[in-house]
A and B are shown apart, each in its own frame.
Chain A
Amino acid sequence: MLKYVVRRVLQMIPVFLGVTLLLFMLRIPGFLPGDPIQLIVGERELTPALRKQIEEKNRLNDPLPEQYVWYVSNIVQGDLGDSYQKGRPVADILTDKFPNSFRLAFAAIIVEIVIGILAGIISAVKQYSFWDVLVTLSTSILVSVPVFWLGLLLQMFFGIQVREWTGGAFSLPITGMGDPPDLVHIILPAITLASVSTAYVARIMRSQMLEAMSQDYIRTAKAKGLTERVVVFRHALKNALIPVVTFIGIDLGFLMGGAILTESVFQWPGVGREIYLAVLQRDWPVVMGGVIVIVLIVMLVNLIVDISYAILDPRIRYGGAAE
């Protein structure tokens, strides 16, 4: 087991270095729109002394390999540079925004787990019934809906239409997150963010469940006279859940990295929106720092998913050890 974990962690290193190399290349002046020094200086007057000071601080005149080592060692130490626009350390800005993205991600994951898994089970257990057709059809449609449009529709319906119908008595908030953050504000963004993944969870759950139900051990369980409910929930569900849990785990990694579209539509103050605004303002350190942290989160969550998968399913670690 330890061998598997070590091997899996070692595999992450080239990917991490590749990502940093890619982002490092973007630091080379001329790659990104706008003169980095001018962007740092902003409205101030650019004197030769100031230029020299900025160049030295950012090591812009060092040979590229030295710059890269300096860049990576800074990242490893948690120094992501300073924002051009705000002058604050990027790490601080991200620390402010990540909790909001996490909150939204967890709310979305709950929707995914509850609705996706339930819909998948119902659809598989009652195959070809009305419910199955409904689930199959609505998942096909859901994966084709642009998330931001779904967000707009929800805002239009729950924020505006419902308010009109109830004479202003009831409506759901369509922006922000409330201060302090409350549950009402998170409902619409969470549904929007969860929509596509919920459809995938339901689809995977359905096909896994159908496969599990056709196995010999299910027939044995039924032949022993166990009730349908025990067979479905004790025997079939346990095995069918593994791939679903994997999908949800990987998805959680991506959702925690902020959701640019959902956060923009609902003006949710998360990392995704922060990075998007930084792109518009050419605040490259925020963009680069945000991307690095997000990639690290995605890789870390994937690692945890893989390791727990190996604990649950011994075939994986033995298969891995034999390689």
Chain B
Amino acid sequence: MSADRHHTEDEQDPASQGPLDVEGHPIRDEAQRAPVLPGAAEVAQRPSRTLWGDAFIRLRKNKLAIAGLVWVVFVVVVTLSADLWVPRYFADPVSTEFAGLESPSADHPFGTDRIGRDVFSRVIYGARVSLAVGILAVSISVLIGLIMGALSGYYGGLLDAFVMRTADIFFAFPYVLFAIVLLAILGPSYRNVFIAIGILGWPSIARVFRSSILSVKENEYVDAARAMGASDLRIMTRHILPNAIAPIIVYGTMSIGGAIITEAALSYLGMGVQPPTPSWGMMLSEAKALMGPAPWLTIYPGFAILTTVLAFVLMGDGLRDALDVKMKD
């Protein structure tokens, strides 16, 4: 929104005559005012405050969440554009031409590793693996979780008992152990890492979605839709899902951070992404033997994991506060 439009609007309709929100208070927020054309207020078409518009306004006030968002966007842009600038100014992530360990310098800001690979470009390219695994794994979890949650919450009965007991079985396993056993079966590889993490994540999503459905499905609009002959699928996707999606979004955002940590842990143990693809976890496992002479090998990749995961956690926290109806200001 442009600054001068905001300015003229302020002159033309003072806050007291501007659009009102549900409680009759004038809406002071510029995001809400922006779509209102000068003079349009009289037409009594005030913008409705949707859940998302509302949440966005509250999210914007949360500095930590915005910092998280900015960092995630930064990491995405840097790693996706890496091909354009990293080879020109820094060494290739897999090239070993500078054989040997070098401490950080102007040429190699994060130093080089045992066989002379540039740590800086490896950290940058490593972000691709982490982000891809984080996002793909959580997408798989959410997809399975939504289906299982819908089956158990909407239909209830035996199906519910079956799905929830299956979830209990998943919860009884320690997480990393389960992931390792699964990867031992599937075979360690890039693709199998996100499949394994994705499969392990569904029970939490299913539980969250199930409880949302249980609280939504008794509403009258659901009965109304059913009376009008809507199919189960349509009721679920059009009437229940939109009203139950907020906790899924919050949970999904936080899970991306968790999936990134798990990927790093699996790669650290050698059960994840395989060389030569640079991944943060694998870099740390290679760094272990050189902890004394080359601390930079341990510090930078770990810091990359920490900041990226923290960014997703902060975004998740912010979204939770922004979307939680009970926490409305």
Write the residues of chain A forming the contact surface with B, with a CB cutoff of 8 angstroms: 14-15, 18-19, 22, 26, 31-33, 140-141, 143-149, 152-153, 155-156, 160, 254, 257-258, 260-261, 264-265, 272, 275-276, 279-280, 282, 287, 291, 294-295, 298-299
Contacts and interface: CB of A to CB of B under 8 A. Distances in A.
B133 interface: no
A140 B269 CA distance: 25
B277 to A, nearest CB: 18
Contacts of B299: 153
B99 to A, nearest CB: 25
B265 A291 contact: no
B276 interface: no
B174 interface: yes
A140 B313 contact: yes
B161 to A, nearest CB: 9
B310 interface: yes
A interface, over-half SS = helix
B165 A14 contact: yes
B313 A143 contact: yes
Interface residues of B, number: 39
Given A149-B306, A260-B177, A291-B177, A140 B314 contact: yes
B165 A26 contact: no
A214 B240 CA distance: 35
A279 B181 contact: yes
B295 A146 contact: no
Interface in B242-284: 257, 261, 264-265, 268-271, 281, 284
Contacts of A146: 261, 264-265, 268, 281, 302, 305-306, 309
A50 B309 CA distance: 52
A160 B174 contact: no
Interface of B: 165-166, 168-169, 172-174, 176-177, 180-181, 184-185, 187, 257, 261, 264-265, 268-271, 281, 284, 287-288, 291-292, 295, 298-299, 302, 305-306, 309-310, 313-314, 317
Contacts of A31: 185
Contacts of B306: 141, 144-146, 149
Given A19-B169, A155-B291, A148 B180 contact: no
Contacts of B291: 152, 155-156, 160
Contacts of A272: 177
A152 B297 CA distance: 11
A272 B176 CA distance: 10
A210 to B, nearest CB: 14
Nearest to B262: A146
A152 B283 CA distance: 12
B177 A261 contact: no
A287 B284 contact: no
A275 B177 contact: yes
Contacts of A156: 291-292, 295, 298
A279 B271 contact: yes
4 tightest Cβ-Cβ pairs between the two chains A and B: A149-B302, A144-B310, A144-B309, A18-B169
Residue in A145, A149, A291, A294 whose Cβ sees the most chain B Cβ within 10 Å: A149
A282 to B, nearest CB: 8
Contacts of B176: 260-261
